[in-house]
Amino acid sequence: MIEIKVAELMAKMTLEEKVGQMVQHSGAEEITGTVARDINYKTDRIKRGLVGSMLNVTSMKKIREFQQMAVQHSRLGIPMIFAYDVIHGYKTMFPIPLGETASWDMDVLEAGASVAAKETAASGLHWTCAPMMDTMRDARWGRVMEGAGEDVCLNVQAAIARIKGFQGDDLSKVDTIAACAKHFAGYGFAEAGREYNTTEIGNVTLHNQVLPPFKAAVKAGVATFMNGFNELNGTPVTANKYLQRDLLKGEWNFDGLVVSDWGSIVELMNHGVAKDEIQAAELAVKAGSDMDMEGFSYEVALVDLVKSGKVDEALIDDACRRILTLKFQLGLFEDPFKYCD
Which residues are the active-site residues? 261
- List 108's β-bridge partners, or say none: none
- What is the C-alpha end-to-end distance of the chain, expressed in Å? 26
- List 53's β-bridge partners, or say none: 24, 81
- Tell how strand 127-128 and strand 231-232 pair up: unpaired
Cβ atoms of 281 and 51 within 8 Å: the answer is no
Closest C-alpha among 243, 324, 306 to residue 76: 324
Could you tell me the CA-to-CA distances from 146 to 89, 115, 189, 225, 286 in Å, in that order?
Answer: 12, 18, 14, 16, 30
∠ CA(48), CA(54), CA(58), 5° rounding? 130
Closest C-alpha among 15, 12, 23, 8 to residue 298: 23
The span from the CA of 239 to the CA of 227, in Å, is 9
3-state DSSP helix/strand/coil % of the chain, to nearest 5: 50, 10, 40
Q: Which residues contact 160 (CB under 8 A, 6 or more apart)?
A: 106, 216, 217, 220
Residue type, 220: A
Sheet holding 180-184, edge to edge: 180-184, 224-227, 257-259
The span from the CA of 261 to the CA of 32, in Å, is 11
Cβ atoms of 243 and 237 within 8 Å: the answer is yes
Closest C-alpha among 320, 329, 330 to residue 76: 320
Helix (H, G, I), strand (E, B) or coil at 264: coil
